[in-house]
Amino acid sequence: MKPYVYITRKLPEDTIVELTEHFEVKMWNHEDIPVPRETLLEEAKNADALITMLSDKVDKEVLTAGENLKVVSNLAVGFDNIDLEIATKQGIIVTNTPDVLTETTADLAFALLMAAARRIVEAAEYVKGGKWEGWSPYLLAGHDVYAKTIGIVGMGKIGEAVARRAKGFGMEILYHNRTRKLDAEKELGAVYSSFEDLVSKADYVVSLAPLTEETRNLFTADIFSKMKNSAIFINVGRGPVVDEQALYEALKNGEIAAAGLDVFEKEPISADHQLLQLPNVTALPHIGSASTETRTTMIKLCGANVKAVLSGDGPKTIVNKEVLK
């Protein structure tokens, strides 16, 4: 019998031919609707491999549902949706999709920064809504990006790619990270800062931090109160690093000027959420890496990881290396 691969979303057939040629492959039959929990649990009982989305909760129940599971291949660079400790304990390899999405996600982060700064979405809706009656000096005036200070929280590969874009805009670059990035300091003039220093000095505070126990609720009311009143907060990392109630208060009370958010505490965010009622919030539906080219490359990488593990070769982008020991 061929090993069984279950994919939790409908993906284009041509992106998974490598898998269908070698394994028995089944997919959840919707592109946009997540696999129901019961289906995932049922499929996990028999699966040798799962290809999962960042919206799937891959917890102990899923990881211990069957006895064949060897690899969980997550279609994202982040893997906070997976209980890594249990996976490792169970000897299950977890893989992600780093590197291939770096530039695409940095493009989105910078686009969101620009959109929030220059009120692009608001201005486009203004024209389409028939509100434009004439030119005036401060009509939809936003904030400059050129020569301002950007503060990047989470200086991984995507953070560095955002910093390269910021350098092109003549920005001063501050960053905060668990480890110093000496190359970025040398090549981009990025300056390592304490978290408190960064949030108080930056005109644009950009969070690219992954979700971990240390980063959960990192951006509290106290942190927003330290930011400049003209600061713009951008989040393209993970929603739960932000206390959303605190962010709402800070935006509403003018403690900060605006926010550009691609990620939220609970996704999808409901249209009546208080944050979405604020005119100074630009919100996107978690599309950081969503270019057609990059998503296709990510899917192929997920397939390559599954194929490698099920064929007894080393996975390309493993997250829990300890499992191989």
Which residues of the chain form contacts with ligand DGY (CB under 6 A)? 54, 76-78, 101, 105, 286, 288-289
Active site residue 267: yes
Comparison of 149 and 289: residue with beta carbon closer to ligand DGY: 289
Of residues 9, 119, 286, 295, which has the active-site annotation? 286
Which of 77, 257 has the CB closer to ligand DGY? 77
Tell me how far apart the alpha carbons of residues 275 and 269 are, in angstroms, rounded to a whole number. 9
Q: How far is the CB of 288 from ligand DGY (least distance, A)?
A: 3
* Least Cβ distance, residue 209 to ligand DGY (angstroms): 12
Verify whether residue 238 is a known catalytic residue.
yes
User: Which residue lies nearer to ligand DGY by CB, 257 or 263?
Assistant: 263
Q: How far is the CB of 250 from ligand DGY (least distance, A)?
A: 23
Q: What are the residues facing 49 on neighbouring strands?
A: 5, 71
From 238, 244, 255, 295, the catalytic residue: 238
Helix then strand then coil, in percent of the chain rounded to 5, is 40, 15, 45
Nearer to ligand DGY, 80 or 172 (CB): 80
| Nearest-approach distance from CB 111 to ligand DGY, in angstroms | 13
Long-range contacts (CB closer than 8 Å, 24 or more residues apart) made by 156-161: 156/208, 156/210, 157/98, 157/99, 157/102, 158/77, 158/101, 158/102, 158/105, 158/106, 158/109, 158/208, 158/236, 159/206, 159/208, 160/184, 160/188, 161/102, 161/103, 161/105, 161/106
Q: Which of 18, 85, 214, 267 is catalytic?
A: 267
Query: What amino acid positions are annotated as catalytic residues?
Result: 238, 267, 286
